[in-house]
Every structure is written in structure tokens, then in C-alpha cells.
């Protein structure tokens, strides 16, 4: 018997996941999206996997450009995560007007200076996975690595801090 999609979604909301900002620099603008389906895949070579909506513009642009930045967001970035998870959003630079950022060296993508970590990545392979694309990313550099800080989590459909409470709004 097939699993009910609503029950499946409710079950996965019980799992706390770290929240990242994926950005791609293309010829026209910077594109970004909030992602919480990120995992470490390999240390040699350094690979991470990111799940992206197959019909979304970020997956399309990443496939064309072939490189991106991935910032692990701190609890203070709940508003940033919300901005980048909304449909019909403007370019990434406009959404980051008051947030310190810089360009990653290899991809030229935006990474947040106050993120917990930032990875400069090259698309290794894209794998179709249902209504998503699993992007396997080779990490070419780590331009940001904080010594500590509280991570931003996604839990039960909301952004949360490490204790499961509401995340900061900075």
C-alpha cells in the first residue's frame, strides 16, 4: 500500500535538519534558495549532496553554470532563510542588503560572512530523484569556517534553534 503523502511529510517534519543557503552566480544575476536537505557524502574527494526541486529555477541555473556556494546558516539567519524560501523572489543581492557577504573564489557565488561555514562547490553530478534533483557537489574550498555558534534548524515546519525553540530573527 502506498504511503499517504501528508503522513510522509508529517513524519519527516519530526526530523531536525540544518538549514543552508545555496547561491549560484550566473550571467544575469545571483540566484539563491534555502535548502535543508544537505548531507556529507565523501571526504575523498570532498562531496556533499543537496536536494533541489526539479522544476525550480535554482536547479536549472546550477545545471547551466555548474558551480555554487553553500552557506551553513546560523540561528540568527532565520529571516534570511525565510526570504530565500519564498516564491517569486528577487535576485540574491537584493535579499541580502543588510547581511555581510562576499564572493567565493572559485564559483563567484555569494557566501555569508557570518555563516557557520561556507563551501565553494562545483557540480559533480545531478541525479533525478522523484520531484527533486540530487546535486552532488564537489567542495573546492571552504571560504568561511566559524569557530562556533548556534545552527539554524528546520523542525516541524518552522525554523528553530539547537534547543528546538524559535530561531533568532536577526
CA–chain centroid gap for 19, Å, is 6
CA–chain centroid gap for 56, Å, is 14
Q: Are 25 and 107 in contact (CB under 8 A)?
A: yes
Helix (H) or strand (E) holding 51: strand 46-53
Q: What is the mean pLDDT of residues 87-104?
A: 86
How far, in Å, CA of 95 to CA of 84, rounded? Answer: 8
Tell me the pTM: 0.93
- Convert the pLDDT of each residue in 45-54 to its tens digit: 999 999 999 9
Can you tell me which residue has the cell 571560504? 143
- Convert the pLDDT of each residue in 100-134 to its tens digit: 999 999 999 999 999 999 999 999 999 999 999 99
> What distance, in Å, lies between the first and last C-alpha atoms of the chain?
45
Q: Which domains does the chain have, with CATH numbers?
A: 19-109+116-146 (2.30.110.10)
How far, in Å, CA of 159 to CA of 152, rounded? Answer: 7
Amino acid at each position: 500500500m502506498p504511503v499517504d503523502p501528508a503522513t510522509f511529510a508529517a513524519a519527516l517534519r519530526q526530523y531536525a535538519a540544518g538549514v543552508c543557503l545555496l547561491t549560484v552566480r550566473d550571467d544575469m544575476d545571483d540566484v539563491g534558495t534555502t535548502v535543508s536537505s544537505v548531507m556529507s557524502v565523501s571526504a575523498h574527494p570532498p562531496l556533499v549532496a543537496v536536494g533541489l526541486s526539479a522544476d525550480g529555477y535554482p536547479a536549472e541555473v546550477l545545471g547551466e553554470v555548474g558551480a555554487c556556494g553553500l552557506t551553513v546558516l546560523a540561528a540568527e539567519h532565520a529571516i534570511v532563510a525565510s526570504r530565500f524560501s519564498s516564491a517569486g523572489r528577487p535576485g540574491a543581492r537584493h535579499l541580502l542588503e543588510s547581511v555581510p557577504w562576499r564572493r567565493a573564489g572559485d564559483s563567484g557565488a555569494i557566501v555569508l560572512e557570518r555563516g557557520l561555514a561556507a563551501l565553494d562547490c562545483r557540480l559533480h553530478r545531478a541525479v533525478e530523484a522523484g520531484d527533486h534533483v540530487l546535486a552532488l557537489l564537489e567542495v573546492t574550498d571552504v571560504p568561511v569556517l566559524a569557530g562556533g555558534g548556534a545552527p539554524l534548524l528546520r523542525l516541524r515546519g518552522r525554523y528553530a534553534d539547537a534547543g528546538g525553540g524559535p530561531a533568532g530573527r536577526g
